[in-house]
Amino acid sequence: MEKRLWLLLAIFALFLMVSLVNLFFFPLTERTNWFISIPPQRGSILDIKGRKLVYDLPKYAAYLDVDFFKRQNGDIKALEKTLQNCGITESLEEVMKYKFFKLTEEEDRVDVLKKIESELLPFVNIELVYTRKKIQDYTAGVLLGTVIDGTGKGGIEGFFDDQLRGKRNGFLELRYRGARLSPTLVNYSPPENGKDVWLSLDLDLQRRVYDIISKAVEGHSAEAGHVIVMESKTGRILSMVTTRNWNDLIGGYIEPGSTIKPLVYAIALETHSASPDFTVECEGSIKPVEQLPVIIRDIEKHGLVDFSMGIVKSCNVMSVKVGELITEKIGVEGFYEWLQKVGFGEKTGIEMEGEIAGVLREAKKWSLIDPAEISIGQGIGVTPVQLIASLNIFANDGYWVKPTILKDSPVEKRKVFSKETADMIRQAMVRVVEEGTGKFAQVKGMTIAGKTGTAQKAVGGEYRNLYHSLFVGFFPAEDPKYTILVHLDSPSEAFYGGEVAAPVFREIVEVLTEKEDGRIRIVKGLMPDLTGLPVRDALLVLESLGVKDVEIKGKGWKVSEQTPPPNHPLEGPVILFLSDQK
């Protein structure tokens, strides 16, 4: 409010200066009212800690009233000098063709006035305008969307356009009487500004996760990489990263591969299509439909595999058999409806413009081979946000929790599986990490549940030697706090999800648990993350790094913000902002 008051006073002072010049050039009538329009600000978009990711930056724009200048035979030399001051390369003849011509735009009104010759001021209107600024780095720009001609397009800007957009201009009405130089304020109506949007995203975590997945993409020569970090019980997304320049986290789809298997097995248990003691002899391959020349293979012969071990070893033969049992019990229509229940083929409702429903063909369009292929995660397209929400069911005792990008969104959930079914699948997912395909996701002292996935990519309708490498997991398994999805698109050489994606998952878990374990990641030359630490501890950490130039601002006992940000070079002074908030 204080900043807006100063802004209002600045507009008023600017008007006085211009009107004073006008008074000497053009005498006022007995009674003249002047109106100054005050444009509304678009709301800001903030991260979970209140840092502005997008905001309106006020600027002052100067426009020459060309028609008025011509009628009053304005000073040509003053105009030429002003054009030069403003760095305008158009000729005087070109400028004179306009009705209004923009001279300059600056953040400080004084800088505007410095460029305009005093003789030209009577013919110049100086208006307050807003420029939309946003953080582009670490995928933030992709998620946030943009504003075109005052309307939000895509991402957060598009979804919340009605809330963010300024509703109504404000105005000042000033009155002059006779030869008075000082106007009287007759009326004032404040603008109705847009409202802010608070996100659940943590910019610090976003930066760390982006660095981790970017290195993995480079190290494996992959086409792209994706990570989503979500609070298991609330669905709040703390980090959402793509290395592409568009939001394919909600607007693009992938085949889930073996990450779909826990869901297929859970459907089998819930519909009593298969029992926990069901076993299969895996010879390394299976022909699902006798009359079709399609063979589904495993990477090895698994021998006698029980129901739980089918998930642990990611056995394709067992999964195809489970899919057959489901189809025999409830039909393809029933299978299709259960896939919808777990969240496939429908938008999650996450608060971002551009979300798609993925690809799940209606049951009546399924071919004979579809039940088998879908059971191993092929022939179906899911968005990364759909996939993490579906596997998060097992972190929530069988409830699907709606993913949200908002800080204070109420938790929305619906029951999909019984607690008994969810518990059984979760224990199998723990074994995936402890003894199965997800061993590289292990973190010392942490029980993790997860599932690997390696889906062959279809290009031009044919499967090629290109793969989606996936790992989706949650921890601590006994009381899940975070659920994480990792995906690498078309890595070269190594491509199994357990080899490529699981190690990235492990790194992110280590980042999330650093503060919880009381450990601070210290790298020489880089600024550590000191937010949340008592100021005394923060100073000791800085001292160990040899930092002597430290400035403390605010009152309180702990660090709420810092400059430089975490993982940025330790250059120049360090500023710690303190707070008492818990």
**pLDDT of 30-83, one tens digit each?**
445 666 778 899 999 999 988 899 999 888 889 999 999 999 988 999 999 999
CA-CA distance, 392 to 355, in Å (whole number)? 19
Residue position matching structure tokens 């030697």 = 465
Residue 569 confidence (pLDDT) above 90: no
Strands 151-153 and 558-563: unpaired
Which of 508, 509, 531 has its CA nearest to residue 520? 531
**What pLDDT shows up at residue 247?**
96
> Residues 109-131: pLDDT tens digits?
788 889 999 889 888 888 888 88
CA-CA distance, 567 to 528, in Å (whole number)? 6
Region of poorest pLDDT, from 110-124, 359-373, 387-401, 495-509: 110-124
**What pLDDT shows up at residue 179?**
47
Q: What is the mean pLDDT of residues 276-300?
A: 91
Listed in order, strand segments (DSSP E) in 190-249 are 197-198, 224-231, 237-242
> Residues 540-551: pLDDT tens digits?
889 888 898 999
Region of poorest pLDDT, from 16-30, 222-236, 364-378, 503-517: 16-30
**What pLDDT shows up at residue 17?**
54
Which of 255, 403, 414 has its CA nearest to residue 342? 414
Cβ contacts of residue 572 below 8 Å, gap of 6+? Answer: 549, 564
* Mean pLDDT estimate for the chain: 88
Residue 229 confidence (pLDDT) above 60: yes
Rounded percentage of the chain residues whose pLDDT exceeds 90: 63
CA-CA distance, 334 to 398, in Å (whole number)? 19
CA distances from 430 to 162, 313, 447, 542 (A): 44, 12, 7, 39
Residue 205 confidence (pLDDT) above 50: yes
Region of poorest pLDDT, from 18-22, 90-94, 150-154, 292-296: 18-22
Residue 580 confidence (pLDDT) above 80: no
**What pLDDT shows up at residue 544?**
84
**CB burial class (10 A; 0-12, 13-18, 19+) of residue 170?**
middle
Highest mean pLDDT (candidates 94-103, 261-270, 510-519):
261-270
**What pLDDT shows up at residue 84?**
93
Residue 23 confidence (pLDDT) above 60: no
pTM to 2 decimal places: 0.80
Residue 499 confidence (pLDDT) above 60: yes
Q: What is the mean pLDDT of residues 488-514?
A: 92
Q: What is the mean pLDDT of residues 345-368?
A: 96
> Residues 516-532: pLDDT tens digits?
555 666 777 788 888 88
CA-CA distance, 568 to 577, in Å (whole number)? 17
**What pLDDT shows up at residue 457?**
80
Position with higher pLDDT, 460 vs 478:
478
SS (H, E, C) 464-519: EEEEEEEEEEEECCCCCCEEEEEEEECCCCCCCHHHHCHHHHHHHHHHHHCCCCCC
Residue 339 confidence (pLDDT) above 80: yes
**What pLDDT shows up at residue 520?**
66
Residues found in the chain: 582
Measured distance between the N- and C-terminal CA atoms of the chain, rounded to whole angstroms: 25
**What pLDDT shows up at residue 576?**
93
**What pLDDT shows up at residue 546?**
86
Domain map (residue ranges) of the chain: 33-195, 203-513, 526-578
Residue 321 confidence (pLDDT) above 90: yes
Could you tell me the fold of the domain covering 33-195?
Penicillin-binding protein 2a (Domain 2) (3.90.1310)
3 state DSSP class of 531? coil
> Residues 87-97: pLDDT tens digits?
999 999 999 99
CA-CA distance, 546 to 268, in Å (whole number)? 60
Strand ordering across the sheet containing 170-177: 31-38, 170-177, 184-189
Residue 19 confidence (pLDDT) above 80: no
Which of 395, 102, 399, 406 has its CA nearest to residue 238? 406
Cβ contacts of residue 326 below 8 Å, gap of 6+? Answer: 264, 267, 268, 271, 273, 274, 334, 335, 338, 371, 375
Q: At what angle do helices 502-513 and 203-219 cross, to 10 degrees?
A: 150
Residue 421 confidence (pLDDT) above 90: yes
Query: Please, what's the largest Cα pairwise distance for the chain?
Result: 102
CA 338-340-341 angle, 5° bins: 65
Contact in structure between 232 and 474 (CB atoms under 8 Å): yes
Which of 391, 409, 88 has its CA nearest to residue 260? 391
Superfamily holding 203-513: DD-peptidase/beta-lactamase superfamily (3.40.710.10)
**CB burial class (10 A; 0-12, 13-18, 19+) of residue 553?**
exposed
**What pLDDT shows up at residue 344?**
97
Region of poorest pLDDT, from 380-389, 471-480, 568-577: 568-577
Q: Which CATH architecture has domain 526-578?
A: 2-Layer Sandwich (3.30)
Which of 154, 128, 129, 143 has its CA nearest to residue 53? 143
**What pLDDT shows up at residue 267?**
98
Q: What is the mean pLDDT of residues 348-355?
A: 97
Position with higher pLDDT, 299 vs 460:
299
Which of 341, 320, 453 has its CA nearest to residue 393? 341
